[in-house]
Amino acid sequence: MSTLKVGVIGVGGIARTHMPGWAASEEAEVVGGCDVNQDVLGQWGDEHGVKRLVTDPADLFSDPDLDIIDVCTPHALHAPFSIGALDAGKHVICEKPLAVKPDEIRQMIAARDRSGKLLMTAQHFRFSGTSKALKAEIETGALGNVYHARNWMLRRAAAPNTPGFVVKAQAGGGPCIDIGVHILDLTLWMMGHPTPVAVSGVARNEIARQDGSFSIWAGPLTDQYDVEDFACAFVRFDNGATLILEVSWMLHHPAPHTEDMQMWLYGTDGGCQWPDCRFYRTSFPTRQFHDSRLMRTKDALEPHAQECFEFADAVRDGAPSPVPPEQSLQVMTILDAIYRSQESGREIRLDEA
Ligand SMILES: NC(=O)c1ccc[n+]([C@@H]2O[C@H](COP(=O)([O-])OP(=O)(O)OC[C@H]3O[C@@H](n4cnc5c(N)ncnc54)[C@H](O)[C@@H]3O)[C@@H](O)[C@H]2O)c1
């Protein structure tokens, strides 16, 4: 059987982290690339030995040899390119956020259903061995009934600082969307995807707007910056569980390794933390505290690569999408509600029409 042929759209930063996964897979190989920046495209083609290089994604969609399209462009292009590829009969793996607006994701799901192909969101944090081990342990019932989650992704001074991330018209929002999507997706996945019913949130710009504000990655913040630098939310779920989310690119908070990213889950029988995979239980009859830690081993592939590897396997095996768009719709519905709550100053009900 011939390998699945992959075309990558947007061969900038994140696309490079996908390449080792496609290279490691026996099922797939990258044969095409597309980018509007011809210098970036040519360099990427030389580096990876890819000869089919185009500047218009439609030329990849119409290529009958291609089976998979890997969408790695800025946020606003995820929906149109994924829908174009699905309508052309290709399987699609698309970078996060799957789309900024829930309605766009609904359109992507409709295109997936029309095509009968797979659509997956590249939520790479799910694909580390540590995340998988913790998820497996939680699924044994180790925490009992999970009734509360706290999760955050906080940076001290690390905004991406390009228009695709910090100009609202292009990015759709700031850290709430860019990094909130990572930690919230991971947390909902660990919780087993309860349905969110209400969101109270705040999104504000307090540090980025100050004179001299800078990013350790990119120097002074661009004058075009018009998104929030901090967001937080309180979420209620249909099973009674609650969740507190905090995200920031710029906060007076210690972040020795660029960012402090953590998830805590609390259940009736125990609590746990990610990424250290620590568990905390209290035995009431014996009045003893039990603290433990899951065994963690080094991964063969880095998570961005692993997600591509597993997508190729899913396509080949006719298996479900490793990250279904319905789950991304739930995540983006919550993040979208944070902005709506900021605008209205009220809690947003998601269970009312
Ligand atoms: N999963 C992660 O950890 C992670 C990390 C960074 C970025 N991302 C996501 O990846 C996406 C891209 O981010 P990036 O950091 O790689 O950005 P980038 O700017 O480095 O790369 C994007 C590329 O898309 C190209 N492009 C733009 N418009 C295009 C068009 N119309 N047709 C073809 N190519 C086009 C650009 O020229 C650029 O080379 C974003 O959605 C971002 O949120 C994910």
Question: Can you list the alpha helix ranges (DSSP code H) found in the chain?
Answer: 13-24, 38-48, 57-61, 78-87, 102-115, 129-139, 163-166, 168-171, 175-178, 180-191, 303-317, 325-344
- Ligand 1 closest atom vs CA 164: 19
- Picking from 99, 87, 80, the residue whose alpha carbon sits closest to that of residue 61 is 87
Q: Which of 8, 72, 222 to mutate to test ligand 1, by most ligand atoms within 8 A of the CB atom?
A: 72
- pLDDT tens for residues 124-143? 999 999 999 999 999 999 99
Strand 214-215 relative to strand 230-237, pairing? unpaired
What's the average model confidence in pLDDT over 267-295?
Answer: 96
- What distance in Å separates the CA atoms of residue 250 and residue 230, rounded to the nearest whole number? 7
Using a pLDDT cut of 70, give the percent of the chain over it.
100
For ligand 1, is residue 246 a contact (CB within 6 Å)?
no
- Residue showing tokens 């603290």: 291
Looking at residue 112, the DSSP 8-state letter turns out to be: H
Write the DSSP string, 198-217.
Answer: EEEEEEE-SSTTSTT-EETT
Residue 232 pLDDT = 98
- Ligand 1 closest atom vs CA 162: 19
φ, ψ dihedrals at 91, nearest 5°: -75, 150
For ligand 1, is residue 69 a contact (CB within 6 Å)?
no
For ligand 1, is residue 163 a contact (CB within 6 Å)?
no
Retrieve residue 323's tokens. 């990250």
What's the average model confidence in pLDDT over 141-157?
Answer: 97
Phi-psi category of residue 226: left, alpha or beta, with phi > 0 → left and psi -120 to 50 → alpha: alpha
What's the average model confidence in pLDDT over 334-349?
Answer: 98
- What distance in Å separates the CA atoms of residue 258 and residue 155, rounded to the nearest whole number? 6
- What distance in Å separates the CA atoms of residue 233 and residue 9, rounded to the nearest whole number? 33
**Does pLDDT of 111 surpass 90?**
yes
**Does pLDDT of 353 surpass 80?**
no
Residue 210 pLDDT = 96
- pLDDT tens for residues 33-86? 999 999 999 999 999 999 999 999 999 999 999 999 999 999 999 999 999 999
For ligand 1, is residue 9 a contact (CB within 6 Å)?
yes
Q: Up-side HSE of residue 342: CA atoms within 13 Å toward CB?
A: 18
For ligand 1, is residue 13 a contact (CB within 6 Å)?
yes
- Residue 300 Cα to ligand 1 middle (Å): 25
Write the DSSP string, 166-186.
Answer: H-HHHHSSSHHHHTHHHHHHH
- Nearest residue (by CA) to ligand 1, atom 2, is 14
- Nearest residue (by CA) to ligand 1, atom 33, is 35
- Residue 339 Cα to ligand 1 middle (Å): 23
- What distance in Å separates the CA atoms of residue 203 and residue 341, rounded to the nearest whole number? 9
State CA 82 to chain mean position distance. 16
- Residue 21 Cα to ligand 1 middle (Å): 17
- What distance in Å separates the CA atoms of residue 7 and residue 34, rounded to the nearest whole number? 8
- Residue 27 Cα to ligand 1 middle (Å): 25
- Ligand 1 closest atom vs CA 165: 43
Strand 28-34 relative to strand 52-54, pairing? parallel
Q: Which of 35, 170, 178 to mutate to test ligand 1, by most ligand atoms within 8 A of the CB atom?
A: 35
For ligand 1, is residue 83 a contact (CB within 6 Å)?
no
- Nearest residue (by CA) to ligand 1, atom 26, is 10
- Domains of the chain in start order, with CATH, are 4-122 (3.40.50.720), 127-300+332-349 (3.30.360.10)
CA dihedral 99, 348, 267, 137 (to 10 degrees): -10
Residue 291 pLDDT = 97
**pLDDT grade, residue 255 (50/70/90)?**
confident
- Residue 35 Cα to ligand 1 middle (Å): 10
What are the strands of the beta sheet with 242-248, ordered from one edge?
A: 288-293, 278-283, 271-274, 259-267, 146-155, 242-248, 230-237, 196-204, 348-349
- What distance in Å separates the CA atoms of residue 145 and residue 194, rounded to the nearest whole number? 12
For the chain, the first-to-last Cα distance in angstroms comes to 49
Residue 242 pLDDT = 98
- Residue 45 Cα to ligand 1 middle (Å): 16
- Residue 14 Cα to ligand 1 middle (Å): 6
Average pLDDT, the chain: 97
- pLDDT tens for residues 167-220? 999 999 999 999 999 999 999 999 999 999 999 999 999 999 999 999 999 999
Question: What type of residue is 319?
Answer: A
For ligand 1, is residue 126 a contact (CB within 6 Å)?
no
CA dihedral 131, 137, 138, 140 (to 10 degrees): 150
**pLDDT grade, residue 27 (50/70/90)?**
very high
Residue 1 pLDDT = 80
For ligand 1, is residue 128 a contact (CB within 6 Å)?
no
For ligand 1, is residue 75 a contact (CB within 6 Å)?
yes
The answer to whether residues 9 and 60 touch, using CB atoms and an 8 Å cutoff, is yes
Vertex 321 angle, CA 320 and 324, to 5°: 120
The answer to whether residues 86 and 111 touch, using CB atoms and an 8 Å cutoff, is yes
Residues 6+ apart with CB under 8 A from 278: 272, 291, 292, 293
Residue 173 pLDDT = 96
**Does pLDDT of 165 surpass 80?**
yes
For residue 316, give the 3-state DSSP assignment. helix
- pLDDT tens for residues 28-37? 999 999 999 9
Looking at residue 321, the DSSP 8-state letter turns out to be: P
For ligand 1, is residue 80 a contact (CB within 6 Å)?
no
